[in-house]
């Protein structure tokens, strides 16, 4: 039923494929490791949500866009995985570039599993996930001591129609960081109220986290639907629900400076 793994061996060779987190949008939130791997890439399969400025680190690479914007024309996951297999077998240095962190709503698990089934080794490089960047951009400490014991990152809806156990989430009392929640905001509000969450619970809605065009709408659970409409909230946005939102200092955190066009 269980086994104890030995210490990981030192891997001296590079994996055939790297899954790399491009971060939340601000190209300065890329890691040094991501930059090193991009600079050496022959082919980069990139999500459409990745900031084009991130691709400036790999001018030598062939760039292939494999978009998956919610609701829009997109590249099927199976096709992306076939492309990955094809390039990996050609022996080129392949990077699969994803917004945020590959392990948080990034489908890294599916792509890793597919590669593993074909005996192809892959490495993963973490990125800053949008929920964390959204919190930071608004001065919200997601796990502030004395207020909550943790934070839950979740999606409010899935393709197979499953939805979270809102009652259990409310009882657990962790800060909720909801991804891809704009389309289902009215339902999320109704579910959280039905589950007994206080109507006055503070909520932050953050559009374009970490980018110069970042926008923040502070509201409450009861008011969030009306406020989101008045605000003109658009995807992609992050919703943070919990008392830590009210504890955030009133001074805004520093959004990245707008860069002048050269």
Structure tokens at 177: 């960081």
* Contact (CB, 8 A) for 242 and 138: no
Who contacts 214 (Cβ-Cβ below 8 Å, separation ≥6)? 137, 206, 207, 208, 255
Query: How many angstroms separate the Cα of 18 from the Cα of each of 83, 107, 123, 255?
Result: 14, 14, 5, 30
| Count, residues near its own copies per rule CB under 8 A | 108
Q: How many residues does the chain have?
A: 262
Calculate the alpha carbon distances from 175 to 80, 182, 201, 249 in Å.
34, 18, 11, 17
Closer Cβ to its own copies, 72 or 168, answer by number: 168
225 with 148: CB under 8 angstroms? no
Using the rule CB under 8 A, which residue among 72, 73, 91, 254 binds its own copies? 254
Q: Which stretch binds its own copies (CB under 8 A): 43-51, 61-69, 115-123, 186-194?
A: 115-123
Q: Is 260 in the site for its own copies (CB under 8 A)?
A: no
Give the residue, chosen from 46, 51, 201, 219, that forms a contact with its own copies under the rule CB under 8 A.
219
Question: Of the listed pieces 4-12, 67-75, 79-87, 181-189, which binds its own copies according to CB under 8 A?
Answer: 4-12
From 155, 184, 187, 225, residue interacting with its own copies (rule: CB under 8 A): 155
Assess whether 84 carries a catalytic annotation: no
The tokens for 30 are: 């890329």
- The CA distance from 85 to 209, in Å, is 32
Choice from 149, 183, 186, 198 touching its own copies (CB under 8 A): 149
Task: Give whichever of 62 and 158 is closer to its own copies, judged by the CB atom.
Answer: 158
Would the CA dihedral through 104, 110, 115, 121 be positive or negative?
positive
47 is catalytic: yes
Q: Does 88 bind its own copies (CB under 8 A)?
A: no
227 binds its own copies (CB under 8 A): yes
**Hunting for tokens 């009861």 — which residue is that?**
222
Annotated active-site residue in 26, 47, 98, 197: 47
Choice between 43 and 206, CB closer to its own copies: 206
Residue 115 interacts with its own copies (CB under 8 A): yes or no: yes
**Residue 89 CA from chain centroid, whole number:** 29
d(CA 182, CA 254): 24
Nearest residue (CB) to its own copies, 62 versus 230: 230
| Contact track, its own copies, 233-252, x by CB under 8 A | -----------x--xxxxxx
Concerning whether 144 is annotated as a catalytic residue, the answer is: no
Q: With contact defined as beta carbons under 8 Å apart, do 154 and 129 qualify? A: no
* Binders in 18-57 for its own copies, by CB under 8 A: 23, 26-33, 35-36
Q: Which residues are catalytic?
A: 47, 68, 180
């Amino acid at each position: 039923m269980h086994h104890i793994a030995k210490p990981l061996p030192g891997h001296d060779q590079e994996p055939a494929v790297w899954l790399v987190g491009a971060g939340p949008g601000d190209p300065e939130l890329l890691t040094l490791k991501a930059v090193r791997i991009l600079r050496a890439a022959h082919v980069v399969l990139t999500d459409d949500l990745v900031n084009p400025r991130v691709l400036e680190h790999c001018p030598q690479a062939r760039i292939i866009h494999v978009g998956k914007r919610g609701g829009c024309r997109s590249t099927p996951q199976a096709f992306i995985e076939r492309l990955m297999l094809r390039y990996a077998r050609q022996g080129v240095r392949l990077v699969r570039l994803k917004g945020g962190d590959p392990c948080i709503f990034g489908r890294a698990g599916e792509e890793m599993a597919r590669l593993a089934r074909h005996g192809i080794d892959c490495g993963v490089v973490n990125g800053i996930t949008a929920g964390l960047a959204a919190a930071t951009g608004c001065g919200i400490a997601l796990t502030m001591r004395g207020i909550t014991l943790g934070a839950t990152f979740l999606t409010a809806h899935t393709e197979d129609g499953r939805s979270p156990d809102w009652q259990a989430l409310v009882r657990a009392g962790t800060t909720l960081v909801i991804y891809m929640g704009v389309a289902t905001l009215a339902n999320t509000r109704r579910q959280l109220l039905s589950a007994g969450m206080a109507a006055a619970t503070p909520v932050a809605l953050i559009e374009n986290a970490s980018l110069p065009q970042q926008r923040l709408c502070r509201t409450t659970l009861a008011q969030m639907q009306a406020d989101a409409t008045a605000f003109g909230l658009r995807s992609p946005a992050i919703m943070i629900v919990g008392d830590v939102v009210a504890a955030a200092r009133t001074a805004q955190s520093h959004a990245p400076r707008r860069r002048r066009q050269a």
